[in-house]
Amino acid sequence: MKIMVAGAIEDLERLHVGCADMAVEMLKRAGADAFRSLDPADLDGCGGLLIPGGIPNIHPSYCGEENTESRGIDEELDKVQYEIIRKAIDRRMPIMGICRGMQFVSMFFGAKTIQDIKNGAHKFDPDDLRHHEAWSVPGSFFEELYGPSMTVNSAHHQALRTVPEGLRVAQLWCEDPAQLPEKLKQAAEGTLRELDSSCIAEAVYHESYPFIATQWHPELDVVWDKSLFDETPIARYFLEMVRKYEEEK
């Protein structure tokens, strides 16, 4: 199965690895024919699309807002990735998003972002590669893949602020553990629509479109020495979505 990873070449400071290239390797390890490209024409013949993470923030105009705290915006990258995502959605092609990719694809379905999380636990620091616990929403595909909770990496300062109709939260982090039971209950019922810096969506999926995404980076489990998670379940889950799409074409 052929999967396009729509990401730019980049070198994450001191990790010496690009998110897009590592996403390609993750998919190859799972058995896919994956490649990196920012040419919309290269989507032809593919069965899936992955929008990776990366340092540039998406311009908030893509969710109808002004820029207040977004950083390092690459308008050309935004424009190209927007066209690629639009083309994939027109074809109802399975899409996986990671970090920046989760935010950008979610914007297509009506999501808005927190432009700067007011909690330092999530922000990328090459001298302190951060991890934290995240909890699966009961009954979600994430609970099937990873159980009730897991440790994830953390390298972002933006996240989803709103969860539009059709999009569902599959995994959560809450600063205050007392918030967690109610937030998980709301997410399981599909009524969790507003988030803030104290409660972050770590994974989402769409109810009727083949889209899954993580705020954390499964592709970096092989380079982050402190990683305590496994990329394999989420990668294989996405490949199964692609397989079904190709069979039904």
Q: Domain coordinates of the chain in residue numbers?
A: 2-248
Encode pLDDT of 138-195 as tens digits. 999 999 999 999 999 887 788 899 999 999 999 999 999 999 999 999 999 999 999 9
- Between CA 69 and CA 67 the distance in angstroms is 6
**177-210 CB burial, b ≥16 within 10 A, e <16:** eeebeebbebbbeeebeebeeebbbbbbbbeebb
pLDDT in tens, 67-91: 666 677 778 888 999 999 999 999 9
Cα 197 from chain centre: 17
Give domain 2-248's CATH architecture. 3-Layer(aba) Sandwich (3.40)
- What token pair was written down for 55? 């340092």
Read off the pLDDT of each residue in 188-204 and give the average, rounded to a whole number.
95
Write down the pLDDT at residue 16.
Answer: 44
* CB 133, CB 149: distance < 8 Å: yes
Residue 125's pLDDT band (boundaries 50, 70, 90)?
low
